[in-house]
Chain A
Amino acid sequence: MAAAAAVRSSMGLTLTLSRVIPGCGTCHLYRLNSCVGGLAGASRTGQLHRFGTLTRHLHSTTGLNHSEEGSSNAEDPEDVVNVVYIDRSGQRIPVKAKVGDNVLYLAHRHGIELEGACEASLACSTCHVYVSSDHFNKLPEPDEREDDMLDMAPMLQENSRLGCQIILTPELEGIELTLPTVTRNFYVDGHVPKPH
């Protein structure tokens, strides 16, 4: 999407003008809570019950070349999984990923606007994606808790999954993940109120 691309290029510009990492709100690393600026700090020590949250300490420069954690420059071809994200405007964004990558955090590393409000703990449905039909059946069955959260996602389809629960394997080569468009028409009169 144009906004995401603008964010990526403006970050390059801002890095040459300022000493410190500016505008953390636009930085994909903050979403990983991997920013060494200490933002992943004391205010989060209170979270005792987090399931499946990835906490990694990452020492790297911010994102012009999207270096992944633990990867060397010489990529092992057997490790590579090619993924395509299709964003809300329909734009196709090909991404070279690795076996073991988490689809939600992979999206964040590439500036794709997939929210993960509960940070992969199966307590929301904001990372809802549609999975290409060729690959949908290759995914392991969803946990009952994932199905419970998917039930709350708008525009649920047969091929809906939560991005934070998809871990890339070699069989998922070529997988395409489409972000649902929550259309403006969602809120016209007659809209059935959602539970809360």
Chain B
Amino acid sequence: MNAHKIVCKSHLLKLLWTSGRSDRIKRLHGVCGRAPFSSCSPKVCIVGAGPAGFYTAQHLIKSRQDVEVDIYERLPVPFGLVRFGVAPDHPEVKNVINTFTQTAQHSRCSFYGNVNVGTDVSVKELQQAYHAVVLSYGAEGNRRMGVPGEDLAGVHAAKDFVGWYNGLPDNRKLHPDLSCETAVILGQGNVALDVARILLSPMDMLKKTDITQPALDLLAESRIRRVLIVGRRGPMQIACTIKEVREMVNLPDTRPEMVAADFKGIAEAVKEVPRPRKRLTELLLKTALDVPTEKEQEKRSKASRVWGFRFFRSPVEVLPAPDLSRAAAIRLAVNRLEGSGEGASAVPTGEVEDVPCGLVISSIGYKSLPIDPLLPFDSRKAIVPNTMGRVQKTAGVYCSGWLKTGPTGVIGTTMNNSFDTARALLEDMDSGALDVSSAKPGSQGVTPLLEKRGVKPVEFSDWEKIDNEEIKRGVAMGKPREKLLSVDEMLHVART
């Protein structure tokens, strides 16, 4: 199957001269059942099977005909935030899975799911087995607000809430309480808008998506009728993008509720800014201040649900109910803006404001975590320190995706980021900065260790069994898929 690989001429000659005929045939079939020449090829290991991992793999495989790439993933299922982060009602964004699937099915790419790098195998062991290691494991931690009451019932990280409705095994027991009238979301990025939209979407829209059934059932009983999306700064610093704002404006059975005073001076300031910021701000202005059309006015008067942005507010405390069991309100500090544009900062005025609510979602950023104490980690920025994707002070180790630049950017941003890391790695191979002349065992050096430790990797064909099972279950529910919710269930289907 690997006969098409570039033949390493010196290796071939050595074999012909030093082996007897029967020996040669044995060697041609390889000690480990693979073609013998594969030991000459550069072997790269990627940690993390999300967009960063897959785009890095894609670029490496396309650019050199001899590179072999192994992708290790903690979960039995691949695709990272494309599966667990992208909102259920954004299926087109998930089309990229088809590209990733082609990469995984490539003869020079192998997927090893259910392997936790850091606990099942160390980065050092990977460095011994591979010529290069690329860390692409993203940001599975959460930035805390750091305020009293943050751990009360009713307060959730957006990352966990999104993980819950998207079927991330670690979040399946979240059981958020949706019996209150008002939900407050801190943060105004696209994740915050996704949460707001899922909380307020009509059931007949959600039930056709791949949102998990338990989430759908809970949302069907939800009594939330008002969602406020709160940011420290003003309308011109909002971090979300125009597509998501338009979706809120057009969401059936909802009406917007903004504070006109928040938009003072904005119409003037918007004239000089770059096009993306300009178009977004104009949409906000129109939604907040313009007299609505007749059709829009009718929609607003009939709407049963309300959403709105609140600007110049920072959380200072989550206030408990009288019995102290759960959140009942959030205390917000009132800010003023110093400076303008993207670099403006929020300065507290001393005033505070209490907003009664029963659900608080903090959506102020994901955060990368260190997985190996021997690797450098910048805990202030929560990234692996690197230059162009080359991990500092660690030869042969690279990083791509959010771990490299911090947890912002859409899939396209991560794609460019990952291609850059792949280019740096290829440059290093070409220049000799990365030594690929001596043979390395690749996965042959890792799978025996895993076996000894009782870890059984999930191959890509096993994921395809899980995939088919989810699609099959989805057909019965009128959904694109019904996700398996626990690692045990995934492994059970994978092994059948």
A contact residues vs B (CB 8 Å cutoff): 3, 6-7, 10, 13-14, 17-18, 22-26, 30-31, 33, 39-40, 42-51, 53, 115, 117-119, 121-126, 145, 147-149, 151-154, 156, 182, 184, 186-187, 191-196
| Pair A148/B241 contact, Cβ less than 8 Å | yes
B412's contact among A124, A148, A156, by CB below 8 Å, is which? A124
| Minimum C-beta distance from B187 to chain A (A) | 11
Chain A residues near B99 (CB-CB < 8 A): 31, 115, 117
Cα separation A125 to B3 with both chains bound (whole Å): 38
User: A47 with B91: in contact, given A39-B102, A145-B243, A151-B280 (CB under 8 Å)?
Assistant: yes
Chain A residues near B409 (CB-CB < 8 A): 193-194, 196
Select from chain A the residue with minimum beta-carbon distance to B244.
A195
Q: Does B122 contact A (CB under 8 A)?
A: no
Chain B residues near A24 (CB-CB < 8 A): 102, 105-106
B contact residues vs A (CB 8 Å cutoff): 1, 3-4, 58, 61-63, 65, 90-99, 101-103, 105-109, 189-191, 208, 210, 239-243, 246, 274-276, 279-280, 342, 388, 405-413, 415-417, 420, 464, 467-468, 471, 474, 480-481
Chain A residues near B62 (CB-CB < 8 A): 3, 7, 25-26
| Pair A48/B276 contact, Cβ less than 8 Å | no
Chain A residues near B101 (CB-CB < 8 A): 39, 43
Cα separation A182 to B279 with both chains bound (whole Å): 23
| Minimum C-beta distance from B238 to chain A (A) | 8
| Pair B96/A47 contact, Cβ less than 8 Å | no
B61's contact among A25, A42, A145, A154, by CB below 8 Å, is which? A25
Cα separation A22 to B106 with both chains bound (whole Å): 8
| Minimum C-beta distance from B162 to chain A (A) | 12
Complex A-B, nearest 6 residue pairs according to Cβ-Cβ distance, in ascending order: A46-B480, A151-B276, A121-B92, A123-B92, A25-B106, A193-B408
| Minimum C-beta distance from B303 to chain A (A) | 23
| Pair A17/B4 contact, Cβ less than 8 Å | yes
Cα separation A154 to B388 with both chains bound (whole Å): 18
B405's contact among A154, A184, A187, by CB below 8 Å, is which? A187
| Pair B107/A22 contact, Cβ less than 8 Å | yes
Chain B residues near A119 (CB-CB < 8 A): 92, 95, 98
User: A49 with B416: in contact, given A25-B106, A151-B275 (CB under 8 Å)?
Assistant: no
Chain A residues near B471 (CB-CB < 8 A): 42-43, 45-46
| Minimum C-beta distance from A40 to chain B (A) | 8
Dominant SS among interface residues on chain B:
helix
B415's contact among A13, A30, A126, by CB below 8 Å, is which? A126
Cα separation A145 to B246 with both chains bound (whole Å): 10
| Pair B417/A51 contact, Cβ less than 8 Å | no
| Pair B3/A18 contact, Cβ less than 8 Å | yes
User: A49 with B412: in contact, given A25-B62, A43-B467, A152-B276 (CB under 8 Å)?
Assistant: no
Chain A residues near B94 (CB-CB < 8 A): 47
| Pair B416/A186 contact, Cβ less than 8 Å | yes
| 19 residue pairs from A and B, CB less than 8 Å apart | A17-B3, A18-B4, A23-B4, A25-B106, A26-B61, A46-B471, A50-B92, A115-B415, A117-B96, A118-B96, A124-B96, A125-B412, A147-B279, A148-B246, A148-B279, A149-B243, A152-B410, A195-B408, A196-B410
| Pair B98/A44 contact, Cβ less than 8 Å | yes
User: A152 with B241: in contact, given A22-B107, A24-B102, A47-B480 (CB under 8 Å)?
Assistant: yes
User: A49 with B92: in contact, given A125-B412, A148-B241, A195-B240 (CB under 8 Å)?
Assistant: yes
User: A196 with B191: in contact, given A24-B102, A46-B480, A117-B411 (CB under 8 Å)?
Assistant: yes
